[in-house]
A and B are shown apart, each in its own frame.
Chain A
Amino acid sequence: MSRGGKKLFYSVVLLLWAFLAALPFLGFSYGVVWVFLLAVYFTLALSYDIVGGYLGYMNLGHASFFGLGAYTTAILLNQGFNLFSALPGAMLLAAAFAAVISYPLFRLRGAYFALATFGLVSLIEVLTNNLRDLTGGSGGISTPPGDHTLPSYYLVLAVAGGTMVLSQIIARSKFGLALFSIREDEEVAKAFGVPTTLYKGLALIISSVPASVVGGIYVWHMTYISPESVFGLEIALSPIIMAMLGGTGIMIGPLVGAVFITLVQEFLWTKVPYFHLAMYGTVLVLLGRFMPGGLVRIRWIRPFIQRLDLGEAVDYFRNVDAERMP
């Protein structure tokens, strides 16, 4: 099909990335901070989508990976490790945590899974508040000071790009196809030999990695975090709303959602403080009722997305060329 469309899409993405990379030198210092946060949220939304969109399990506890990554990195930095040994540590801990929780949690489905994972974030928040010696309690934790705006900006851009590549690789792989089949009908998938328990666990572990890494970069950039700032409702819900508003199960969805929400938020919290928090809930309810497919699946937007050859979750096998078949 539209090989040209795919080329166009990738060149637009590359151009965008080149522009973002040049941003600090163009004198938009506020823009740099804004794009940094956007990229953090986008990475969270996209990595959430591996479980939420591809696998079809609404993981409201995705922020726990982010918070764990941030706290682990902060603690390791304070112990004298540098960032590049602290980040893998954060990654490993979050992945191990994902592996451990995947067993009990994936015995639940639908709303029960969503509720249980949501409880997880609060649980860890309570833990960080009370394990004072380790985490500094409700007072938060500071890392060695320094201006890391630029390096953290480039790091987070790289991680966001890497997550996009990861998400595409999964969508085109046999593993990804298996995740979609579990989303459609888990029982049938199992009957056809898909190792559902293993794959659900793997999907959760894979989605935890980018989240924990951006958590680490976030704390390095901010040099201070509190339990509220990394486990709060804001960070727990907004990436999920972004993914759902944009469209789940397709890479471009979280991108559209993240840009859209960050723009609206930017406008709202300068004009009407705190209103954005009320808006999240409203948007979530309205989305489920009127637009379950998200922005990218609206009828008049869809053709554009399809022209980019990213129309559905996987287009790789969908566009098999009959002419080339034996």
Chain B
Amino acid sequence: MAVNGLLECRKISKIFGGIEALTDVDLKVAPNSITGVIGPNGSGKTTLFNIISGALPPTGGDVIFKGKKISKMGPAQVCRLGIARTYQLVRPFNSLSAMENVLIGLGFGRAASMAKKDRVAEAFRILRMVGLEGKMNHMAGSLTLVEKKHLEIARALATAPEVLLLDEVVSGLNPTEVTRTMGTIQQIRESGITIIMIEHILKVVLSLCERVLVLDHGVRIAEAPPEEVVRDAGVIDAYIGKFEDEEDLHA
């Protein structure tokens, strides 16, 4: 890549006990792009997210964000620098309202200096962006799964991130919801935020992402534009072939 990446992973490896979850994974993310991360279950996708967001320290390698090494920082510090995430298994603050969930992101992320009044207005704007403005006073625990996933996106957006890590936000939704969520993701990118997304639905990855990183057993087996990735023999073998079998099964 010609331009220096906004976010760069250099030879990231992670060992849990005797299991090597990630082995020398490299990744460069260009500013204002959407990068997909795909791979079979257990291939280390979420572990990679945990390392980028500071939730886990890497065993080896560095994460560089805007020229700064962030792999030694904790999650709070990484969040304040401008990297926010959602969780694959949704984890909203259940007994707080949707509005309050977003206000946590606003109050302690990069927008922390904002005045209280402006925070509520900004939270409302973000909730409207993900289509939750009608439920802002509802407890997060009472929302449906789709709404919880959108709330996770809203809470992450509230921290005013430069990079947004989306961990399977489209999985488990019905086709209408998928289309709507894809629109939201497109809209977020258009507002200037760089997105890295883990996704199992290949259709979503192919239509949204500019580049795709394919992991298999913790090893990077491809990193290319999606059209190339789907033609790569190794990728078909490790992931897509299996995926189409699954689709046949469901058909």
Contacts and interface: CB of A to CB of B under 8 A. Distances in A.
Interface string B107-146: 1110010001000110011000000011011010000000
A192 B105 CA distance: 6
Given A192-B109, A193-B109, A177 B100 contact: yes
A318 B137 contact: yes
A44 interface: no
Interface string A180-221: 110111011111111110000000000000000000000000
B108 A194 contact: yes
A282 B196 CA distance: 53
Q: Which of B104, B105, B136, B155 has the most chain A CB within a 10 Å cutoff?
A: B104
Nearest to A325: B124
A181 B93 contact: yes
A181 B104 contact: yes
A317 interface: yes
A320 B107 contact: no
B55 interface: yes
Given A174-B107, A192-B159, A317-B99, A326 B91 contact: no
Contact of B107 (A177, A190, A196): A177
Contacts of A258: none
B75 A177 contact: no
A274 B206 CA distance: 73
Contacts of A322: 124, 133-134, 136
Interface in B63-77: 74-76
A195 B121 contact: no
A275 to B, nearest CB: 35
B99 A320 contact: yes
Contacts of A189: 93, 104
Interface in B39-66: 53-55
B187 interface: no
A193 B99 contact: no
Interface residues of A, number: 28
Contacts of A180: 93, 95-96, 100
Nearest to B100: A317
B35 interface: no
Given A191-B75, A191-B79, A318 B93 contact: no
Given A191-B76, A192-B79, A318-B100, A185 B109 contact: no
Contact of A317 (B54, B103, B133): B103
Interface residues of B, number: 38
A319 interface: yes
Nearest to A196: B76
A312 B80 CA distance: 30
A313 interface: yes
Q: Which of A181, A317, A322 has the most chain B CB within a 10 Å cutoff?
A: A317
Contacts of A190: 74-76
B95 A192 contact: no
Contact of A320 (B87, B104, B137, B155): B137
A319 B99 CA distance: 9
Nearest to B79: A193
A320 B136 contact: yes
Nearest to A316: B100
B97 interface: yes
B85 interface: yes
Interface of B: 53-55, 74-76, 79-80, 84-85, 87, 91, 93-97, 99-100, 103-105, 107-109, 112, 116, 120-121, 124-125, 133-134, 136-137, 139, 155, 159
Interface of A: 174, 177-178, 180-181, 183-185, 187-196, 312-314, 317-320, 322, 325-326
Given A191-B54, A193-B108, A318-B137, 5 more contacts: A181-B96, A184-B95, A185-B91, A191-B79, A326-B125
14 contacts: A174-B116, A177-B96, A177-B103, A181-B104, A191-B76, A192-B84, A192-B155, A193-B79, A193-B108, A195-B76, A196-B76, A314-B96, A322-B134, A326-B125
